[in-house]
Amino acid sequence: MYLVLMMYLVLMMYLVLMMYWFGLLGEVCYNRSMKERMSELVKLLNRYAHEYYTADRPSVSDSEYDRLYRELVELEEKYPTDILPDSPTHRVGGKILEGFEKYPHQYPLFSLQDAFSREELMAFDQRIRKEFPQVSYICELKIDGLSISLTYEKGILVAGATRGDGSVGENITENLKRVKDIPLTLKEPLDITVRGECYMPKASFDAVNQLRQENGEPEFANPRNAAAGTLRQLDTAVVAKRNLATFLYQEASPTQAGSQEAVLNKLAALGFSVNPIHFLADSIDGVWKFIEKIAQERDSLPYEIDGIVIKVNDLAVQEELGFTVKAPKWAIAYKFPAEEKEAQLLSVDWTVGRTGVVTPTANLTPVQLAGTTVSRATLHNVDYIAEKDIRQKDTVIVYKAGDIIPAVLRVVESKRVSEEALEIPSHCPSCESELVHFEDEVALRCINPLCPAQIKEGLIHFASRDAMNITGLGPAVVEKVFDKDLVKDVAGIYRLSVEDLLTLDGFKEKSANKLYTAIQASKENSAEKLLFGLGIRHVGSKASRILMEKFHDMIKLSQASQEEISSIDSLGTVIAQSLHSYFEQEGSQLLLRELQEAGVNLDYLGEKVGADAALAGKTVVLTGKLQKLTRNQAKEKLLSLGANVAGSVSKKTDLVVAGSDAGSKLTKAQELGIEIQDEDWLDSL
């Protein structure tokens, strides 16, 4: 009996174990099949979305897409740990962002030089053909949107950012994930950074403004403003609803493609939305014909454009041509003529800038221009007023230069009501000093170094975001500290105490401490911020960075010769002369000492090159096609070795690194007896 009972218990345990095993196995199998189904749905839905939003060739009905989408949502709710990174459900809003972080671009995003006439395009073409007679151009539509960069790691979107100043933008990854034609994963597991334009289609713009009108909200002025406003929304649900779109056009990271046309084809193959309208031209006449054709078709396009971008098609030639401080030498943006409106001139205001230039601004009867109300427009300078023969109470044509800055274009002479000339000031409107009109300048200038307006404008510039970035020290506060005689120059900012700030109207303990903290924090900035903040003529933010990379600290720069500065690639004699003239002044040297005594950092805090580096102090020129390195990689390596990389060969050149198909630069180097090395030599260092 005991034996029978034991056998019964063993049998029951066996049955329980079998039931558990098969149940577990069933669950595993079930889970596996669900994972496979989720993966299948993600692939299907992403393919259908690409066909709909990018290729404009939908292969399934909206109802079928919705059915599959609902199935995926139900599975993801049941198995949240198995949600795939490229699931289309990530494009649905619901995430509320706290704000946007700064995003340093690994690969700088340059702006383009503008052209407004055929003559300017011809001049661009002539500059290119001096070095490359057989060059061809690719013409692309200039989309009126917001410039963005997208970074993928192993084919997965990890970061999306605005252009910002080209070096630092804003991280808007979550918002860009809600733009339906941006792939969350690529067709290949690549590490790549691409650049393009995010825009709002005309249909989306009309729908958004209709809804805002119904809700009693102010309407967007134009699609570009609408796109920019949408991408800066903290509620991702808003972004998802507004149906933004993109066109990608550049591989910002190093590419193996040989031409811009090949880049566009590659981006399209990877699943990006690429504008199919582009044109390859062998001459500037061909470029102009394309511009005229698009100008006729512009209004019928489903999106806004404001011009045509013309690029050298050969990427090796692009690298050879290189960059100026501000823009690539191998590209130009032709801007379509701006919208024009009539307005009556009411009066003219004259204002003094930080360099002493006195600028006239026209007060006008209000007009609607490019989606905004315009009542003020620049008259540029006294020579411009004379050239256009602008008189009292004239009716003038107003336009937005570059679709941004309102300006007076010309006078409508048939509507002239007065022959009285505009009154041109002879004395500074700020300090009453006599104004000077130099022969080689078009502007009136106040040359009084103690002019209050100049000092205040200089202080505002010094504290601005791109300079020392002193939060809270804006124009209104600068006006207060200057009028109270608390600050007379930029060094005076660092002598301000909390007690000084508490004497200002509107300042309490909290606001005073906050501004004082911001002032102290700015002392730690890298020296290129300080250099730009000094407001030296012709020395912008990019030139400041290049100078500090070369000289490492402000003291060394202040002691550098014109020749040393002008030898730096992309800077030249104008910047060199301006810097030399500035630092020659005793007042400038005194200011540096005062800043140093106040504890302001005068050193460059970026990557530095030692004096014992292999190519320290040598001027090197790159030419020809490189096989192992991209032009940028080669340039970065030369810079890391201490070299000054120049764009042209001269007697000052120490070394030329020549790749295959090297042309005139190699020939000139040989004629001058300059040392020549190849890519393998550079790679070995």
Element (H, E) at 245: strand 245-251
Distance (Å, rounded) from C-alpha 234 to C-alpha 520?
31
CB 365 within 8 A of CB 610: no
535-568 pLDDT, tens digit each = 888 888 878 988 998 888 999 999 988 888 887 7
Dump pLDDT digits (tens) for 398-414: 988 655 678 899 999 99
> Is the pTM for the entire model greater than 0.85?
no
With beta carbons less than 8 A apart as the criterion, state whether 151 and 160 touch: yes
- Comparing 612 with 78, the larger pLDDT belongs to 78
CA distance 389 to 403: 24
Name the helix (H) or strand (E) containing 22.
Answer: helix 2-49
Using the predicted structure, report yes or no on whether residue 310 has a pLDDT greater than 80: yes
Q: What angle do CA 641, 539, 171 make, to 5 degrees?
A: 75
Whole-number pLDDT of residue 55: 58
CB atoms within 10 A of CB 560: 18
**What pLDDT is recorded for position 41?**
81
- Least Cα distance to 415 among 340, 338, 345, 337 occurs for 345
In the predicted model, what is the mean pLDDT of residues 570-593? 86
Q: Report the mean per-residue pLDDT for the chain.
A: 85
Gap between the Cα atoms of 50 and 194, Å rounded = 18
**Nearest Cα to 281, choosing from 301, 255, 308, 254?**
308
Please give the average per-residue pLDDT across 603-624, as a whole number.
77
pLDDT classification of 167: cutoffs 50, 70, 90 = confident
Read out DSSP for 539-566?
Answer: --HHHHHHHHHHH-BHHHHHH--HHHHH
For residue 299, the model assigns a pLDDT of 85
pLDDT at 57: 67
What are the catalytic residues?
142
The string of pLDDT tens digits covering residues 631-665 is: 777 877 887 787 877 777 888 788 888 887 777 78
Least confident of 237-251, 273-287, 502-516, 595-609: 595-609
> pLDDT (tens digit, 9 = 90+) per residue, 1-26?
555 556 655 555 655 455 445 454 44
Answer whether residue 56 shows pLDDT above 70: no
pLDDT for 25:
46
Residues 6+ away with beta carbon under 8 Å from 454:
352, 353, 354, 355, 356, 430, 446, 448
**DSSP E strand stretches across 252-404:** 278-281, 305-312, 331-335, 340-352, 357-369, 372-378, 395-401
- Beta-carbon contacts of residue 64 (< 8 Å; ≥ 6 apart): none
Pairwise pLDDT comparison (324 vs 193), residue with the higher score: 193
Q: How far apart are CA 139 and CA 292, in angstroms?
A: 12
Higher local confidence (pLDDT), 45 or 127 = 127
Nearest CA-CA partner of 370 in 336, 397, 340, 407 = 340
Nearest to 278, CA basis, from 243, 250, 258: 250
Give one DSSP letter per residue of 213-238, joined into a string.
Answer: HHTTPPPPSSHHHHHHHHHT-SBHHH
Q: Which long-range contacts (CB under 8 A, 24 or more apart) does 109-112 make?
A: 109/147, 109/149, 109/163, 109/166, 109/169, 109/195, 109/252, 110/166, 110/323, 110/326, 110/327, 110/328, 111/166, 111/326, 111/327, 112/309, 112/327, 112/328, 112/331, 112/332, 112/333
In one-letter notation, the amino acid at residue 416 is R
pLDDT at residue 28, rounded to an integer: 45
Residue pLDDT, tens place only, 445-489: 898 878 999 999 999 999 998 899 998 999 999 999 998 999 988
Average pLDDT over residues 54-58: 61
* Residue entry with tokens 């660092």: 494
When comparing pLDDT for 57 and 662, which is higher?
Answer: 662
Question: Are residues 396 and 364 in contact, defined by beta-carbon separation less than 8 angstroms?
Answer: yes
Helices and strands of the chain, counted as H and E runs: 25, 21
Structure tokens at 401: 């230069």
Q: How many residues are given for the chain? A: 685
The yes-or-no verdict on residue 524 having pLDDT over 60 is yes
193 Cβ contact partners less than 8 Å away, ≥ 6 residues apart: 106, 107, 149, 150, 151, 152, 251, 252, 253
Count the neighbouring beta carbons within 10 Å of the beta carbon of residue 61: 10
